[in-house]
Structure 1
Amino acid sequence: MKKVVLVMVMVCLVVGFGFANGTKEAAPASPSGEITLKWALWDIASTTYYEPLIKAYEATHPKVKIEMLDLGSADFMTMLQTQLSGGDSSIDVVTIKDIPGYNNLVKRNLLMNLNDKIKSENINLAQYGGTTDQISVDGKLYGIPFRSDFWLVYYNKDLFDKAKVAYPTNDMTFAQYDALARRMTSGVGADKVYGAHYHTWRSAVQLFGILDGKHTIVDGTYDFLKPYYQMVLNEQKDGIVQDYATLKTSSTHYSGVFYNNSVAMMNMGSWFIATLINQIDQGKTEVKNWGLVKYPHAEGVPAGTTLGTITSLGVSNASQKKDAAFDFVKFVTGGEGAQIIAKTGTIPAIKDDQVIKIIASMPGFPTDQASRDALQVVKTYLEMPLHEKAGEIEVVLNQVHDEIMTNNISIDAGLAKMNEQVQKILSK
């Protein structure tokens, strides 16, 4: 009896010592062999693709259950980092909302290096349009994109028909885009039609400059932006586009100017497709006939080169079910997951022929071949690349963009200011 008691005491001491030193036993297997994976995400109620993805995966993996953990959208990456930094091993699958947040998670070793899994599972990274190269850290990938919105040109067919001008094409240089915008500008006052429209985000102008692949927005030198600012400010001066300061002070939303037939062309993200279709269906816009074409490009740059943002999935380093978690990540970020996402009207990261067919078959999507072809991208550059000081740099770029577009500073002086202030940030 004394021996039994002694053994029990020793076991308790060993277990207690283990927990005191931060070690944890592996999660016990369910008697039925089931595995529950916890997926950290945001906005369950308003996101249409979570449930279909989970339902489809569980249908082919009956012993796996996916449990959603909604951390809210406003401070999602901060909340996620806090939980993972605290050693929370209950989170298995991690949704990565933005590039600065991704960088922070990688720096703190909170995400699993996926390279070995990608290799063993023969995952073709080329299908993500070059975005995975842009989020690799020292050759290692910690997330795989499953959503990827990208920039296109929306245009109003009725306005082009009325002006008897041929529609824009899927292969326009910036010079051709500018010329077409000028040709489509007409009228005055309430009857004024603007040839193009730029929303007040800096990305609507600055990121034209990175499409040639020679520069990024975090380089620290910004002289390459000069011709694009010149083009847009000249359009503004000549009344081809609406005044930036007026748009800013009135908080005018880009959708409003397109809805009321006052804009012939507008560069905007693919997220606007489903919204526009919905508004037309509900009779909340004057626009009836519209189309899409690929983003304009610099001379020598392939048509279909564009800008984008990505949402990725990763595996928590603290997860005790990494293999199962990666299998779910592989499903969501793969071809089958992409088709499920596309059926909800959302643009997935993979845009193969089947995905494009699904999106183009949505009720209300333009029926012309050019609009369908516009969905095919050649290369997508991230709006904000992976950089540890991206947040600080963006503050400067936003501020100086405002000053240039409101003519409070000249283009040359503004670019010099960007160079000086960003280089100070980079040298810290």
Structure 2
Amino acid sequence: MRKMRRGLSLVMASVMAASLAGCSGGGKTETSAAAAETKAAETTAEAGTTQGAEDNQEEITLRFVSWQTNHDAGNQKVAEAYKKLHPNVTVQFDYVGDMNSSDYLTKTDIMLMGGEPIDILMTANYAQYTVRAMSGSYLPLDDFMKEEGITAEDAYNVILKVNDQTYGIPGEMKYNLVLINKNMLDEAGLEVPALDWTWDDYHEYAKKLTSGSGADTKYGSYFHSWGNCNLWGISSSKDGSTYFNDDETLTFDNPDFAKFLQMRYDMENVDHCSTPLADVKALNMNYRDQFFNGNIAMLPMGTFMLSDIGNEKYSPDFVTTFARQPLWDKDGKHYNVAGATMFAIAKTSEHPKEAYDFLRFWTTEGVNLKGMFISNEKGASKMDSVNQIINGFKDKVDVEALTKVMEDPDWVDSFETYTPEYQSEIDSILTEETDKYLLGSQSLDDTIKNLMDRGNEVIEENK
């Protein structure tokens, strides 16, 4: 039997707590792409650490494996800026999964098991990162940071440690929000939702935003096929882990979990105002395509989609407006799920020191150079990053609504602060059992019972 270990601890600097009350003030002042390029061109210690390849002038090629094919232009921009500082280092991007992080993880796990040389890897969230850090897939970064003369907390607003070690850096922060087709909203005569809107409001909006019939139906709402989409009900009423309570018991018997599942079932199968899960799975729908092609009106997703609005691949012919994650109670706390794309050095890296040096550049100056994500660099402001992201396509964005959401004075970041080593097993059970309910093959009561029974079996097996 494996001993269950406390998997993940969250360390947030006081500046992060202060930023929750107002995201636009203070902090880093040079966050524009132009400022980042200027700073990157300066051969100072701030543009990158002085260890690694700079001390060893042999020709080095770092292999960075990613699923983000849509971001290649930005990735190359960062690599080129780094090469100006370190002419002997070339960063090679290999893309696996084509914008599908699940496929990417499956394939890169196999690559690592086979001993394939990889320098830098990434995960879409904390849970995926923690499981792999625990399994030994990543190298710890603490010694590299000690050699650089910093701590992780010195350099970043948010750091996640696994068993008190730093295995990866949250390089690109992302937060839950609801993207809304403003053209469809206006046609339905609806206002942009207030900051205190609820899931009941969301349901009513979806009904009013749905139009057409059969294959021509334009749905008011869309929930993706990921099992953890069903945890929005929990994250709307509590902070911390959506899977586990503070005492490390499962949350699946939380009444808000059942309430959300019931609402989603009704929206998809009774009111027919949200894309049915059966269609999502049968047609292997891509949520980006569904939203930007105008097939759906509202999409609960995350800030990582902001840059997609200006991507020529999608080129939406409408303005996107925004709402915060709905509440259950208008007077409830404004919890908002906060996550990050995690970057780590693979255990099979042939150039770990050089990979670390590039990783530091990638997660600081690199984020600003790409201008696609919210920075996690110490003192960085959410809204400064957002303004940089949307700078080239503000005509496609309801800037007023987005600013209102990002600067919500009652905003409370909610992080997945506990992830055990058997997290992937819980995720699989969550998807399997909720799919059965949403597809009509088992009752809600049986779904909750099965989730608790099967989940607790996994916990017992890992004690």
User: How far 1:402 moved relative to its partner?
Assistant: 0.9
Identify if the C-alpha distance between structure 1 residues 31 and 280 changes in structure 2 by more than 3 Å, giving closer, same or farther.
closer
Native 8 Å contact 2:192 2:322 kept in 1? no
Name the TM-score, length of structure 2 as normaliser: 0.69
Identify if the C-alpha distance between structure 1 residues 201 and 122 changes in structure 2 by more than 3 Å, giving closer, same or farther.
closer
In 2, distance between residues paired with 1:381 and 1:257? 28
For the residue of structure 2 that corresponds to 1:328, the secondary structure is: helix
User: How far 1:257 moved relative to its partner?
Assistant: 4.4
In 1, distance between residues paired with 2:305 and 2:171? 18
Which of 291, 296, 299 matches 2:326?
296
User: How far 1:182 moved relative to its partner?
Assistant: 3.9
Identify which range, 354-363 or 115-124, moves more after superposition: 115-124
Please list the CA deviations of residues 31-63 of structure 1 after superposition, one character each: whole Å capped at 9, or x if unmatched. 98457363442469762333222222232345x
Structure 1 unaligned regions, length at least 5: 1-27
Task: Say whether residues 1:381 and 2:405 are aligned partners.
Answer: no
Q: Which residue identity lines up with residue 369 of structure 1 in the other structure?
A: E
User: How far 1:425 moved relative to its partner?
Assistant: 1.6
Match of 2:428 in 1: 395
User: How far 1:217 moved relative to its partner?
Assistant: 2.2
Match of 2:205 in 1: 180
Native 8 Å contact 2:221 2:273 kept in 1? yes
Task: Say whether residues 1:412 and 2:445 are aligned partners.
Answer: yes
User: How far 1:302 moved relative to its partner?
Assistant: 4.6
Which of 331, 337, 345 matches 1:306?
337
In 2, distance between residues paired with 1:406 and 1:202? 13
Match of 2:108 in 1: 76
In 2, distance between residues paired with 1:341 and 1:264? 28
Q: Which residue identity lines up with residue 76 of structure 1 in the other structure?
A: T
Native 8 Å contact 1:147 1:312 kept in 2? no
Native 8 Å contact 1:38 1:67 kept in 2? yes
For the residue of structure 1 that corresponds to 2:296, the secondary structure is: coil
In 2, distance between residues paired with 1:148 and 1:29? 28
User: How far 1:252 moved relative to its partner?
Assistant: 4.1
Structure 2 unaligned regions, length at least 5: 1-51, 98-103
In 1, distance between residues paired with 2:68 and 2:441? 43
Match of 2:358 in 1: 328
In 2, distance between residues paired with 1:333 and 1:197? 32
User: How far 1:369 moved relative to its partner?
Assistant: 1.8
Match of 2:402 in 1: 371
Task: Say whether residues 1:54 and 2:79 are aligned partners.
Answer: yes
**Equivalences for residues 42-121 of structure 1 within 5 A:** 42=66, 47-62=72-87, 64-68=88-92, 70=94, 72-73=96-97, 74=104, 75-83=107-115, 93-97=119-123, 99-100=127-128, 102-108=130-136, 110-114=138-142, 117=145, 120-121=149-150
Identify if the C-alpha distance between structure 1 residues 234 and 126 changes in structure 2 by more than 3 Å, giving closer, same or farther.
farther
The structure, 1 or 2, with the larger RCO (C-alpha pairs under 8 Å, 6+ apart) is 2
Which of 367, 374, 378 matches 1:338?
367
For the residue of structure 2 that corresponds to 1:48, the secondary structure is: helix
Identify if the C-alpha distance between structure 1 residues 114 and 262 changes in structure 2 by more than 3 Å, giving closer, same or farther.
same
Match of 1:222 in 2: 252
Identify if the C-alpha distance between structure 1 residues 108 and 167 changes in structure 2 by more than 3 Å, giving closer, same or farther.
closer
Which of 392, 400, 417 matches 1:362?
392
Which of 38, 41, 49 matches 2:65?
41
For the residue of structure 1 that corresponds to 2:419, the secondary structure is: coil
Q: Which residue identity lines up with residue 180 of structure 2 in the other structure?
A: Y
In 1, distance between residues paired with 2:293 and 2:96? 34
Q: Which residue identity lines up with residue 379 of structure 1 in the other structure?
A: D
Larger radius of gyration: 1
Identify if the C-alpha distance between structure 1 residues 117 and 317 changes in structure 2 by more than 3 Å, giving closer, same or farther.
farther
**Equivalences for residues 202-281 of structure 1 within 5 A:** 202-211=227-236, 212-213=238-239, 215-217=241-243, 219-224=249-254, 225-236=257-268, 237-255=270-288, 257-259=290-292, 261-278=294-311
Identify if the C-alpha distance between structure 1 residues 106 and 94 changes in structure 2 by more than 3 Å, giving closer, same or farther.
farther
Which of 204, 210, 225 matches 1:200?
225
In 2, distance between residues paired with 1:239 and 1:392? 32
In 1, distance between residues paired with 2:53 and 2:389? 41
Native 8 Å contact 2:169 2:363 kept in 1? yes
Native 8 Å contact 1:41 1:95 kept in 2? yes
For the residue of structure 2 that corresponds to 1:311, the secondary structure is: strand
Native 8 Å contact 2:66 2:122 kept in 1? no
Identify if the C-alpha distance between structure 1 residues 321 and 233 changes in structure 2 by more than 3 Å, giving closer, same or farther.
closer
User: How far 1:109 moved relative to its partner?
Assistant: 7.6
Identify if the C-alpha distance between structure 1 residues 315 and 291 changes in structure 2 by more than 3 Å, giving closer, same or farther.
same
Identify if the C-alpha distance between structure 1 residues 265 and 97 changes in structure 2 by more than 3 Å, giving closer, same or farther.
closer
Q: Aligned Cα RMSD in Å? A: 3.9
Native 8 Å contact 1:195 1:263 kept in 2? yes
For the residue of structure 2 that corresponds to 1:306, the secondary structure is: strand
**Equivalences for residues 156-171 of structure 1 within 5 A:** 156-171=181-196
User: How far 1:127 moved relative to its partner?
Assistant: 5.1
Native 8 Å contact 1:220 1:426 kept in 2? no
